[in-house]
Amino acid sequence: MSAPNIETIVSLAKRRGFVFPASDIYGGLGSSWDYGSLGVELANNIKQSWWRWLVHERDDIEGLDSSIIQNRLVWKYSGHETTFSDPLVDCRNCKGRFRLDKLQDVNCPKHQSIHPGEDKECDLTEAREFNLMFKTTVGAISSDEDETALAYLRPETAQGIFVNFANVLNTSRRKLPFGIAQIGKAFRNEVTPGNFIFRTREFEQMELEYFCSAEDAPRVMQEFIDEFQKWFNSLGISAENLKLYEQSKEELAHYAERTVDVLYRFFPERDDEEKQFDELMGIANRTDFDLKTHSKKPEDAEGKRINSDSTEDLSYFDEATKQRFYPYVIEPSVGVNRTLLAVLMDAYTEKTNEKGETRVILKLKPELAPIKVAVLPLAKNKPEIVAMAKDLKKQLLPAMRTVYDDTGGIGKLYARQDEIGTPFCVTVDHESLEDEAVTVRDRDTWAQERIKVTELKEYLQKRLSAL
Ligand code: GAP
């Protein structure tokens, strides 16, 4: 089982402290969200899994953390200033503003049952291009119109990688093929954000730019398509909720030769199965566009430099073939927030207890669970039990994230830990003081086992790694 719809997760996320609406006490700010104590842990665990897999476990990828605000010229030569826009239309009747290419995804504000443009009353304007980059100014400026101070919040982390290509290559002494990985915030002034954390104006990306020869690019791309599906599976996302989508020639970005999106079933409630899926990540063959466009040497057909501002040539010299060329780039780009949403949706299950009550269990993989073990005292008014429970928490903590919780009766505490995905609860009771043993309760089966305190850490570590 997984969540029946996103709304179920919105409610759980708010109730249990994963995600809250941002600026809520001032009426919110359209489609902005804050991550609470459990949400930030879950997001960090997803990012750590990605980073460990790509940067630590593989031997061919370097990490990077580049600035959010770069020189404006980065966005001029990347093409974002001229092409990073959506076609906008207004309705003269309902005063709504929509993305022309996404009319089917929204409802008319006046007539909720139809999409904009479907009623004879709809009076849509001609489409005009709306650039999605957030503008800002850098330094003490004389006026907001001062063009020399204009800068942008990055709409993708990728460009920070391309402009650092030579820095990383030279300092790491890498040879092709190799990659540069980066995790960070990106900003887009989306026309129609929505669906909780699925499309927001501020979000986080995990991007890998993998540099290789043109000949190797198709094979490398296919390997990443396969590997990323396996990685999503390792996060607990089931294969039946994932699907690949090959972008058509018309859909491809101007720099891409091929793009395959990995889709997730974010909208299981929709009747049409095709429409249940939407983009979780994209994997693109960006050709040699990026390194060429940021280099000072390449020329156009008329012999004019395509970049008259760059001071660097980002070509690569292959010692083996004695050839100089601009490497191709394969780019797997994943959204942290969409991954977190998919993980929550897939982990969501319901179970009926012996009283016939429905309980929510979040079957998160232990690697992702914000809390691995909760230590609970059966009687919080008994100082010896409380002391033993607190001591156990301290003992377990260096090996696994453990919390102590005495904020309710044992039934309530179990239910809360199930709902936030804690794989094991450890209960200290009156008998524990005598027999130096505790009860370990399994989140998924609710089965309980008595374990000696001296064996507890090893026992939990084994069970956690087996889940
Ligand atoms: N550098 C390539 C790039 O940025 P993209 O398909 O525009 O490609 C990559 O974005 C991923 O970033 C998407 O697959 C999605 O997971 C995430 N993403 C993009 N826009 C988003 C938004 N407005 N809100 C949340 N996540 C977003």
Give yes or no for a contact between 181 and 55, defined as CB atoms under 8 angstroms apart. yes
pLDDT at residue 180, as a whole number: 98
Pocket test for ligand 1, best of 50, 86, 99, 156 (most atoms within 8 A of CB): 156
**Which atom of ligand 1 sits closest to the CA of residue 333?**
9
Using CA atoms, how far apart are residues 41 and 314, in angstroms rounded to an integer?
A: 38
With a 6 Å cutoff on the Cβ, whether 158 touches ligand 1 is: yes
**Which atom of ligand 1 sits closest to the CA of residue 197?**
25
Full DSSP string of 227-258: HHHHHHHHTT--GGGEEEEEPPTTTS-TT-SE
Residue with tokens 């830990």: 417
Query: What is the phi/psi pair of residue 279, to 5°?
Result: -65, 130
Total-model pTM: 0.95
Residue 304, judged by CB atoms within 10 A of its CB (0-12, 13-18, 19+), counts as exposed
With a 6 Å cutoff on the Cβ, whether 338 touches ligand 1 is: yes
What does each C-alpha distance from 142 to 33, 71, 246, 398 come to in angstroms?
33, 19, 48, 54
Query: What is the phi/psi pair of residue 210, to 5°?
Result: -110, 115
Pocket test for ligand 1, best of 32, 279, 336 (most atoms within 8 A of CB): 279
CA-based angle 133:137:139, to the nearest 5? Answer: 150
**Which residues of the chain carry a pLDDT beneath 50?**
none
pLDDT at residue 1, as a whole number: 83
Full DSSP string of 41-58: HHHHHHHHHHHIIIIIIS
Buried b (16+ CB within 10 A) or exposed e, 117-135: eebeebebeeeeeebbbee
pLDDT at residue 140, as a whole number: 82
> Which H helix or E strand runs over 383?
helix 383-396
Nearest CA to ligand 1 atom 7: 156
pLDDT at residue 406, as a whole number: 96
Cα-to-centroid distance, 335 and ligand 1 (Å): 6
Cα-to-centroid distance, 203 and ligand 1 (Å): 8
DSSP helix/strand/coil, 85 = strand
Using CA atoms, how far apart are residues 353 and 341, in angstroms rounded to an integer?
A: 27
Q: Which two tokens stand for residue 121?
A: 């009353």
* Residues β-bridged to residue 242: 264
**Which atom of ligand 1 sits closest to the CA of residue 200?**
24
Using CA atoms, how far apart are residues 258 and 223, in angstroms rounded to an integer?
A: 14
Give yes or no for a contact between 173 and 93, defined as CB atoms under 8 angstroms apart. no
Cα-to-centroid distance, 396 and ligand 1 (Å): 38
101-120 pLDDT tens trace: 888 888 888 888 899 999 88
Residue with tokens 């002034």: 189
Pocket test for ligand 1, best of 338, 339, 341, 343 (most atoms within 8 A of CB): 338
Cα-to-centroid distance, 280 and ligand 1 (Å): 8
With a 6 Å cutoff on the Cβ, whether 281 touches ligand 1 is: yes
Nearest CA to ligand 1 atom 13: 281
With a 6 Å cutoff on the Cβ, whether 279 touches ligand 1 is: yes
> Which H helix or E strand runs over 164?
none
With a 6 Å cutoff on the Cβ, whether 207 touches ligand 1 is: yes
pLDDT at residue 229, as a whole number: 98
Q: Which two tokens stand for residue 199?
A: 């499309």
With a 6 Å cutoff on the Cβ, whether 282 touches ligand 1 is: yes
Nearest CA to ligand 1 atom 6: 282
With a 6 Å cutoff on the Cβ, whether 337 touches ligand 1 is: yes
Going by the DSSP 8-state scheme, the letter that residue 456 receives in this structure is: H
Residue 189, judged by CB atoms within 10 A of its CB (0-12, 13-18, 19+), counts as middle
Cα-to-centroid distance, 452 and ligand 1 (Å): 49
